[in-house]
Amino acid sequence: MDFDDTPDEAAFRARVRALLEEHAAELVHLDAGEEAADAGEQEQALRRTQRVLADAGLVGVSWAREHGGQSGTLAQQAIVNQELARARVPTLINHIGLGMCGPTVVAHGTPEQHERYLARLLRAEDVWCQLFSEPGSGSDLAALRTTAVRHGDEWVVNGQKVWTTLAHVADHGILLTRTDADRPKHAGLTMFIVDMHAPGVTVRPLKQLGGQSDFNEVFFDDVHVPDSDRLGEPGEGWRVALTTLLNERVAVGGGGNDLGLSVESLAALAAERVPQLSAERQVLARQALGRAAVAALANRYTGYRRYTAISKGGLPGPEASAGKLAGTTAAKLVADAGVRLLGDDAVYGRGPDGDDGRWQRNQAWLPGIAIAGGTNEVLRNIIGERVLGLPPEPREDKTAPFDGVRR
């Protein structure tokens, strides 16, 4: 494919850049200096940033107009992402909603659900989370135990989820539950939209390696969910969840996007730091930089090919697993090389030259992202079985009733 902008894309890029300059004072920027006084103020600032961008037509660019988007191309969405990174605008607060929950509601929701939820999602009036993993069923998602029991026009949910990104600020979530334990584990699931402020929902943030609390554990104690908030038919939750998972793997590195810090940021740091090293250490640094740059650029350009295929009508497939696996691997190489270039300064939150600790934070953040959307081991199984055609291991738990499987 041609990596240069077409005349139309160049004009679109210029318009995006002009819009970002026009609204710069209303947006949060990564290098804006002092952070908000507290987490609540920071959350409101990030919601405002997404709202301003949405009103300017820069959120959900590739979404259909009937769903609140711009009916643009994935190439245009990639241009917006590049220009947001160039302007140092942080990741949109509703990235889980935009990349995973929203596409699932679009694909499986009713017209009423589209009207009720999508416009507010795009403007971050409602932030969304994805309630999938559980303490005993992370990699084996279909073995989940959170139950939903129907009572008339409502379902009563009980159970626990964990590693739920943004649950502590979310207004809604997509929730995968077990509604029939007499069927095989993949066949007895049902997906719902859940109000995160409903009685019986308890969210507890989890402290991460980098000191932040992006992940959470969530408890459901007799939470009432109306049947009108069901996504898909009862028992068809796995089919609905696959839409979420495939989009998640594209969003988390599978689309060729940089996770955290770009290879260009690494090159800028290297230009400053490598000349300060001894000759022997310069050789080692260049080797690490070369490995990171090759991996990051290969992932980026392979992601562009994947976006090209999707923009021509294709759907995210099992090959997205390879992209996600490569994306997190490349990001880790970039972060590790950056921290090594910092040397002794890496032990401080802020270096003597004004470094703000972003390399250390990114390195500490990436192990969790490597788990999100499927661990490396799960992704390799998917690639082996569904891309390479290798035979799967025999597993009785796929065909036996869930209640009869030893756990």
pLDDT of residue 67: 95
Whether 248 sits among the annotated catalytic residues: the reply is yes
Looking at residue 33, what is its pLDDT? 47
How many angstroms separate the CA atoms of 311 and 129, rounded?
26
Output 103 or 246, whichever has higher pLDDT. 103
| CA–CA dist 25, 45 (Å, integer) | 12
**255-387 matches 128-235 in CATH topology:** no
Q: Name the strand (E) or helix (H) holding 148.
A: strand 147-151
Structure-model confidence comparison of residues 301 and 391, the more confident one = 391
Mean pLDDT of 348-363: 69
For residue 30, CA distances in Å to 34, 49, 90, 148, 288 come to: 10, 12, 6, 41, 26
Averaged pLDDT for residues 395-402: 79
Assess if CATH 3.30.465.10 describes domain 128-235.
no
Q: Do 321 and 254 form a contact (C-beta atoms < 8 A)?
A: yes
pLDDT score at 1 = 55
For the entire predicted model, the pTM comes to 0.83
pLDDT score recorded for residue 397:
76
| 13-17, 177-181, 357-361: the lowest-pLDDT one | 357-361
Q: What is the mean pLDDT of residues 198-211?
A: 89
CA distances from 136 to 35, 124, 140, 146 (A): 37, 32, 8, 11
**Per-domain residue ranges of the chain:** 7-93, 128-235, 255-387
- In one-letter notation, the amino acid at residue 205 is P
pLDDT at residue 317 above 70? no
Q: Which residue has the tokens 């996504």?
A: 231
Taking phi over 0 as left and psi of -120 to 50 as alpha, with beta for the rest, 130 belongs to beta
Top mean-pLDDT range of 33-42, 115-124, 384-393:
115-124
pLDDT in tens, 125-171: 999 999 999 998 877 889 999 999 999 999 999 999 999 999 999 99
pLDDT reported for residue 34: 45
Please tell me which residue in 134, 217, 248, 319 is annotated as part of the active site: 248
| CATH 1.20.140.10 fits domain 255-387 | yes
Q: What is residue 17's three-state secondary structure?
A: helix
pLDDT tens, position by position, 218-255: 999 999 999 999 999 999 999 999 888 877 656 555 45
Distance in angstroms (rounded) separating the CA atoms of residues 91 and 259: 10
Mean pLDDT of the chain: 87
Taking only the tens place, the pLDDT of each residue in 257-298 is: 667 678 888 999 999 999 999 999 999 999 999 999 999 998
Residues 53-74: tens digit of each pLDDT? 999 999 999 899 999 999 998 7
